[in-house]
Structure 1
Amino acid sequence: MRFDVAPFRARRGMEKLLEALGEGQVRFVGGAVRDSLLGLKVADIDVATPHAPQEVVRRLEAASIKAVPTGIDHGTITAVTSGTVVEVTTLRSDVSTDGRRATVAFTDDWQEDAARRDFTINALYADPVSGEIFDYFGGLADLETRTVRFIGDPLQRIAEDHLRILRFFRFHARFGHDAPDAAGLAACTQRANDLMALSRERIADELLKLLALPSPVSTIETMIAHGIFKPVLPEIADAQALAALLAFEHQTILEPSALRRLAALIPSDVEVGRDIAARLKFSKAQRVHLAKILVPAEGPASTMAYRDGKEAAMDRIALTPAWDGDRKAAVAELESWDIPTLPIKGGDLIAKGITQGPDVARTLKAIEEDWIASNFPDGPEFDALVARHLG
C-alpha cells in the first residue's frame, strides 16, 4: 500500500521543512496518517525523525524555519513554516513511567518509537517521498476492521499512562465498529481505579472530547456497564437521557455540545453539577453554563433566553422532554431571535418624576418583570406598561 503524500506536501512550507530534516530522516506519523487513510479531513500533521531535538532545532533554524521548543525534554519541537504548524518529534522509547508522565530516551529505531504508542492505528508512519507505509503492529488491518487495539499488552500500556483507559473508549467511539476489543476492554475494566491518579483536568479533557463525538451513546453505555466512571464520576450511572438528547439533537439545528451531553448524564441537580464542575476543574464559563442548564426548562422559551442567554435556554429545552411546548419549534425560533434590551433606564424614570434612590431600582425591576411577562412589547404598548407602574 502507498500513502498519497501529495496533499500533505502541498501545504505551505512543508517542502521546506522536509528538506531541512533530510530525505530518509523524517516520516509522517500518527493521526494524520490514520485519518488520511480513512478518508477523513486532516487538520494537524505530525512528523517523526531520528534527529536529536537540538539537531532538529539547528536544522530548522538553518532553513529559516521557526523552532518552538514546546516539549523539547520529551523530544517535541513545533515548527512554524509559512504559516503551517508541524509537530516534529524525535524517536523515543520509555525509560520509566508512573502512569501520569514518562521519562524517555531518544533512539533511532522507528519500531521502538512505534512500540511506545497507545493503539495500533496510531502507530502508522508514511515516507513523505515514496508514500511507503510502515506498520509495525498491524494498524492497517485494524483500520480495515475499525478495531481500536492496544499495542502489545493492554495492562502495560495502561500502566504507562492511565489516561489511555479513557482514550481507548474515545477512539472506539470515533473509529470502532461493534463491541470494543475484548482484551482492551478487560484491561480498562480491571484498571479503572487507576483513573483516580490522574489530574482532573486530563479526565475532563478526554470526557468532553468523547461526548463531543457524533455518536458516543453506545460507548458510554459500555463504560457504565463496566464501572469505568465509578472511581472518578460515580454520578454517571445511566445513559438513557443522553440517548434521548442525541435523538432530539438530530431532529433540530442543535450542534453537538459536550457540556449539554454531560448534563444529560448526571442528575438534574445544580449542586451536584457544581460539585462535578469543581472536581473536573472546569473554567468559570463552563461552571456557570452547566449550572444554568441543569435547571429543567420552565415557562416561555423567550423568558429563559432573556434571563440565561439563548444557548442556555436551548440546552434547557433540549434536556427537558416534559417541557410544556413544541421543543423543536422553540429551538428553531430562538436560533434567529434577537434578545431585546429593556427600552428604559433609571435616568428615564428619574426624568419622569421617580425620586433618585431605591425607588428607581425597585420600579425599574417591576417594569422589567411586567415587560418580560408581556412578551417584550415596545412602542405605545411599552409606554402604556410604564405608565401603569408610574401611577
Structure 2
Amino acid sequence: MPELPQAEWTRRPELARLVAALGADKVRWVGGAVRDTLLGAEVRDIDAATPIEPRAVVTLLEEAGIRTIPTGIDHGTVTAILDGGNVEITTLRKDVETDGRRATVAFATEWRDDAARRDFTINALYADPATLEVFDYFGGVADLEAHHVRFIGDARQRIREDYLRILRYYRFQARFGSELDAEAEDACAELASGLKGLSRERVGWELQNLLALPDPAATVARMRERGVLPVVLPEAGKHEVEALEQVIDAERTAGLQPDPIRRLAALIPAVPSLAETVAARLRLSRSQRDRLACAAARSPDDAQEPRALAYRSGVACAVDRLLLSGVDPAPLIGWEPPDLPLKGGEIVGRGVSAGPEVARILQAVERQWVAEGFPPRARVTELLDAELAARG
C-alpha cells in the first residue's frame, strides 16, 4: 500500500491527542484530506472514520479534554473542537435503505463496508494516522494518478442512492478529471430527472461549488449537452454557456478570483425578474439574490461611467456587470465609492424648510456630483449654491 506524504496537518499535536483518545487502531483519516494530500493540494478540512459508535466517541474525547459538538450524532458524526481546526469524526456505516434523497444507515465495523457506501473511488481513501499507510479498497489511488473520476461499483446504483451525486460527479470531474468516464456520463444523463426530487438548497449549494472552481466551463457545457443542466437550470442555453466561458476568461484577465454568483449570472438571460426566479428556486441568500438581479440589469450604458454605476449599485455588482458585458473593470479595482460631503442639515441651514424639498435638493446635487466624477467639497458647495439659486 502507498503512504501518505508528510504534510503539515499530519503533524498537528492536537490531532495526535485525538488519535490517542480514540486509540491508534480505531481511527483513520478519510476522504478529501487524504485525496488532496496525495495530490499535493491544500488541505482545508480533515475528516476521520472510526468503528467506535458516536456516543462512545463523545465520551472518550471528553475524558481526554477534547470538546465535541454532536453535529449529526444520530447519523454517526461528531465534531471535535480543536485549536488548529475542527475534525469531523464519523462512525463506520453501511447503507440499509436509500430513496435517492437520503439513506438509512447502520453502523459498521469493517472499513471496507464504509468505503463501499462512498461515491467515488478517489473519495474512499483512508490513512493510518501513525504510519500514514493508505488503505485503498477500490483503486482510488490509480484513478487519482489517471485523473479519472469513477463511481464505486455500479454508477446507476450509486446515483439512485443519492441523486445529488450527479452534480457531485461533474464537480469532481471539473476539479480532478481529464478523460470523461463513459459509464458515469451515461448514468448521469439517464437518471438526471431524479435531481428534481432533491431539496433546492442542496442543488443550489452544489451548483455554487461547481461554479467556484477555476474553470468549469467545459464541464458545464457537457452537462448541457447530456441533458443534466436543463433539469436544474433550464434558463442556461447554448448562448449562456458560451457567456460563462467568456466571463471566466474576463475574470482571469482582470486578475479576479472565481465568483460563483457572477458565473451563475452569466448562465441566465439578462432579465432581472428571471434572475429573481432563479435565485428563489435555488434558495440563494438575500444578498446573493440582490446581486444576481443587479447583474441581470446590465446594459451597454454601464461602460460609459463605471464609477457612477458602482456608486449607485455597489462595486461588486458594477464589476459583475462590466465583466458580463466584456468591459475591463480596472477603474473599479481597489476603488471605494466616496460619501457625498453634504447633509440635509446644511440645506436647512441655508433657509430651506425641513421636508421633501430638502431631499429633492440633496438628490439633485448628488446627481450632478456623481456626473462630474465626485469632485471635492468646494465644488459641492458650488453645486448647492447653483441649485438653491435655480429654485429661488
Correspondent of 1:301 among 306, 314, 324: 306
After TM superposition, give the deviation of residue 366 of structure 1 in Å: 1.1
Q: Percent of counterpart pairs with the same letter?
A: 50
8 Å CA contact retained: 1:236, 1:265: yes
Cα RMSD for the two superposed structures: 1.2
- Quote the Cα distance in structure 2 between the aligned partners of 1:281 and 1:344: 39
After TM superposition, give the deviation of residue 246 of structure 1 in Å: 1.0
Which segments of 5 or more consecutive residues in structure 2 lack a partner in the other structure? Answer: none
In the alignment, what sits opposite 1:29? 30
After TM superposition, give the deviation of residue 289 of structure 1 in Å: 0.7
- Quote the Cα distance in structure 1 between the aligned partners of 2:136 and 2:105: 22
- Quote the Cα distance in structure 1 between the aligned partners of 2:134 and 2:341: 65
How do 1:264-303 residues align onto structure 2 when only pairs under 5 Å count? 264-297=266-299, 298=302, 299-303=304-308
After TM superposition, give the deviation of residue 147 of structure 1 in Å: 0.6
Residue identity in the other structure for 1:207:
L
Scaled by the length of structure 2, what TM-score is found? 0.95
Question: After TM superposition, where is structure 1 displaced by more than 6 Å over at least 4 residues in a row?
Answer: none
8 Å CA contact retained: 2:338, 2:374: yes
In the alignment, what sits opposite 1:190? 190
1:348 matched to 2:353: no
- Quote the Cα distance in structure 2 between the aligned partners of 1:268 and 1:6: 46
Residue identity in the other structure for 2:366:
E
8 Å CA contact retained: 2:58, 2:78: yes
Residue identity in the other structure for 2:370:
I
In the alignment, what sits opposite 1:324? none
- Quote the Cα distance in structure 1 between the aligned partners of 2:7 and 2:354: 72
- Quote the Cα distance in structure 1 between the aligned partners of 2:85 and 2:247: 38
8 Å CA contact retained: 1:97, 1:161: yes
8 Å CA contact retained: 1:245, 1:261: yes
8 Å CA contact retained: 2:95, 2:117: yes
8 Å CA contact retained: 1:2, 1:132: yes
8 Å CA contact retained: 1:12, 1:82: no
Residue identity in the other structure for 1:316:
R
1:66-101 CA-to-partner distances (Å, cap 9, x unmatched) read: 121111111111112344311111110011111111
1:206-259 CA-to-partner distances (Å, cap 9, x unmatched) read: 000000100100000000001102223210122111111111111113221100
8 Å CA contact retained: 1:48, 1:91: yes
After TM superposition, give the deviation of residue 5 of structure 1 in Å: 5.1
1 or 2, which has the higher helix percentage?
2
- Quote the Cα distance in structure 1 between the aligned partners of 2:337 and 2:251: 23
In the alignment, what sits opposite 2:47? 46
In the alignment, what sits opposite 2:216? 216
1:336-355 CA-to-partner distances (Å, cap 9, x unmatched) read: 22211111111111111112
Please identify, of 117-126 and 252-261, the stretch whose mean Cα deviation from structure 2 is larger: 252-261
Residue identity in the other structure for 1:30:
G
After TM superposition, give the deviation of residue 21 of structure 1 in Å: 0.9
Which segments of 5 or more consecutive residues in structure 1 lack a partner in the other structure? Answer: 322-326
In the alignment, what sits opposite 1:225? 225
Aligned residues: 383
- Quote the Cα distance in structure 1 between the aligned partners of 2:343 and 2:147: 61
1:317 matched to 2:311: no
Please identify, of 88-97 and 337-346, the stretch whose mean Cα deviation from structure 2 is larger: 337-346
In the alignment, what sits opposite 2:117? 116
- Quote the Cα distance in structure 2 between the aligned partners of 1:356 and 1:28: 67
After TM superposition, give the deviation of residue 369 of structure 1 in Å: 1.1
Q: Aligned pair in 2 of structure 1 residues 341, 8: CA closer, same or farther (>3 Å)?
A: closer
Scaled by the length of structure 1, what TM-score is found? 0.95
8 Å CA contact retained: 2:175, 2:213: yes
What is the DSSP-based 3-state SS (H/G/I as helix, E as strand, rest coil) of the residue aligned with 2:298? coil
Residue identity in the other structure for 1:340:
P
How do 1:113-192 residues align onto structure 2 when only pairs under 5 Å count? 113-178=114-179, 180-192=180-192
After TM superposition, give the deviation of residue 368 of structure 1 in Å: 1.1
1:174-193 CA-to-partner distances (Å, cap 9, x unmatched) read: 00013x21100100000000
In the alignment, what sits opposite 2:374? 376
8 Å CA contact retained: 1:12, 1:84: no
Please identify, of 168-177 and 67-76, the stretch whose mean Cα deviation from structure 2 is larger: 67-76
Please identify, of 372-381 and 23-32, the stretch whose mean Cα deviation from structure 2 is larger: 372-381
In the alignment, what sits opposite 1:245? 247
- Quote the Cα distance in structure 1 between the aligned partners of 2:354 and 2:66: 64
After TM superposition, give the deviation of residue 6 of structure 1 in Å: 5.5
Q: Aligned pair in 2 of structure 1 residues 241, 82: CA closer, same or farther (>3 Å)?
A: closer
- Quote the Cα distance in structure 2 between the aligned partners of 1:390 and 1:67: 66
8 Å CA contact retained: 1:5, 1:129: no
After TM superposition, give the deviation of residue 113 of structure 1 in Å: 0.4
